Amino acid sequence: MDLKILMTCLFLIIAFFPLLARAEKTMTTTLDDQEELAVTVYNVNMALVKDQRKLELPKGACELRFMDVAAKIIPTSVHIVSLTAPDNLFVLEQNYEYDLLSPAKLLDKYVGKEVKLYTKNHYTEREEWVTATLLSNNQGPIFKIGDEITYGHPGRIIFPGVPDNLMAKPTLVWLLDNNRSSPQTVEASYLTNGINWQCDYVLVLSADDKRAGFNGWVTIDNKSGTTYGNAKLKLVAGDVHRVTPDRLRDNILRSAQLERAKSKPQFKEEEFFEYHIYTLDRRTTVKQNQTKQISLVEAQNIGVHKELLFYGAAYYYRSQHGEVMSNQKVGVFVEVANQASNNMGMPLPKGIVRVYKKDSEGSLQFVGEDRIDHTPKDEKFRIHMGEAFDVVGERKQTDWKKIAYDTYEAAFEISLRNHKKEAVTVRVIEPIPGDWQMLQHSHEYEKTQAFTAEFNVPVPSNKEVKITYRVRMRF
């Protein structure tokens, strides 16, 4: 070995030997030491945990075992700091111990060591034991008793203790250098996977479909591997970017139920970076393997706008099709303005909106659902309810011809039939490609986009209305 390298190694051993010797002091902290717990849950199956505990650490180097942390912790995100004396506590090393105690792991750790085997004597009804050496735990334990080898022992195996390198729970382990002899509050913060939240909304339409009641619920699903007791809870809504993990994580979301008692919204909302943060105005406990639901927003007597939409398709205009049979359904949509003037105005996290309406007997019936994106205040969201039953549409291509190398003409007839007891208005959307010009039209239209013509067509009860138009296109 090179003399210079040898001298360097000797110097490091001599320099750190006193520190390592003092590091034999080991402390364990559990939830009994906890003073404060804050959990910020992101809607990307992740949470930030801040765990404050009051500890009396020995002065000098010591090993701190921080128990009761999440099993799905992201080890590289861990950070510890003394809130009482930040300049007096230094981290020399940190580890995440997840070699958890189990029957198989315990047997593996005792290979080559002595254990006790207990067997019940069926004649005396007493337990008898012998000392044995565990030789192997490959597809089952193999023992040596005296000079004989056996396996498939029917009795209990007694171990003298738990090996130091096995943990009953996931544990953070720090090698610390502490310069303070009095008690201090330390905060361990870390990110964990396995905890998620989503919003579920309920919209109850009035009899005339013009007003509605609106309720939003937060659903928190905790599968992170620990319980967060009496925690200060925050939720972050927004499209937070994360690096793609090496393996697929669980992301189990459970839908909210309709039948709930009315409850006052309990979250305070505020802008946060490019997201929105919602803070619960009280403490709560989120148990492991628990789905918890908390009221987020409630609004009554909001205005809604129901639309019947009949869509075309761009390929209709590129060749001769005759009768176009692929678009017979008239879609039903409900649009809501998220404005203070509409008794709303809170930024709404993305989620599922389920819509209900009372029937003639006053019983709520489900009429449709859709997923909405994050919706800021003063914006609108639209819910696709499904397709109309009593309003049907039919589209027929009545003419198509090529005028020049890049110029075409097409004519269409659209029939709208209303079998309802009341008149309706159908919004017809025609996606016309290329540079187009309307040559003839039976109803007024609006060019809402470069490639879109829209007709708003009133259709009386039990009547049929036909729209005809001819368009010239260059593409």
- Average confidence (pLDDT) over 427-447: 94
If pLDDT is split at 50, 70 and 90, which confidence band does 315 have?
Answer: confident
CA dihedral 460, 332, 468, 326 (to 10 degrees): -130
* Six-digit token string for 292: 């918890």
H or E stretch covering 230: strand 228-237
CA 256-262-265 angle, to 5 degrees, is 80
- Determine which of 153-162, 213-222, 294-303, 457-466 has the lowest per-residue pLDDT on average: 153-162
What is the share, in percent, of the chain residues with pLDDT greater than 90? 53
The DSSP annotation for 399-436 comes to EEEEEETTEEEEEEEEEEEE-SSS-EEEEEEE---SEE
More confident residue, 333 or 13: 333
| Strongest mean pLDDT among 113-127, 232-246, 324-338, 433-447 | 433-447
* pLDDT of 154: 80
Confidence band, pLDDT 50/70/90 cuts, at residue 105: confident
Classified by CATH at the fold level, domain 3-99+167-192 comes out as Immunoglobulin-like (2.60.40)
Cβ atoms of 309 and 429 closer than 8 Å: yes
List the CATH code of the domain at 103-158.
2.30.30
The Cα 85–Cα 367 span in angstroms is 59
Other beta carbons within 10 Å of 123: 5
Cα 422 off chain centre by: 43
Lowest mean pLDDT segment, chosen from 95-104, 106-115, 146-155, 342-351: 95-104
pLDDT at residue 251 greater than cutoff 90: no
Domain borders along the chain are: 3-99+167-192, 103-158, 218-295, 305-348+373-474
pLDDT at residue 323, rounded to an integer: 63
Q: Give every CB contact of residue 287 below 8 A, 6+ residues apart in sequence.
A: 222, 227
Q: Read off the DSSP letter of residue 244.
A: P
Given a cut of 60, whether residue 14 has pLDDT beyond it is no
**What pLDDT, on the 0 to 100 scale, is given for residue 252?**
28
Q: Which two tokens stand for residue 340?
A: 């203070």
What pTM, to 2 d.p., does this model score? 0.72
Same fold yes or no, 3-99+167-192 and 103-158: no
Buried b (16+ CB within 10 A) or exposed e, 411-433: bbbbebbbeeeeebebbbebebb
Strands (E), 72-147: 79-82, 89-97, 114-121, 126-136, 142-145
Q: What is the mean pLDDT of residues 30-41?
A: 94
Share the mean pLDDT of the chain.
Answer: 84
Q: So what's the pLDDT on residue 257?
A: 38
Please report which confidence band the pLDDT of residue 37 belongs to, taking 50, 70 and 90 as the band edges: very high
Q: What is the mean pLDDT of residues 161-185?
A: 81
Model confidence band, residue 475 (pLDDT cutoffs 50, 70, 90)? confident
Lowest mean pLDDT among 18-32, 174-188, 382-396: 18-32
- Among 98-107, 236-245, 262-271, 385-394, name the most confident range: 385-394
Identity of the amino acid at 274? E
| pLDDT recorded at residue 244 | 58
Give the confidence band of 358 by pLDDT, cuts at 50, 70, 90: very high
Residue 302 has pLDDT above 50, yes or no: yes
- The mean pLDDT value for 105-130 works out to 80
Which tops the pLDDT comparison, 165 or 344?
A: 344
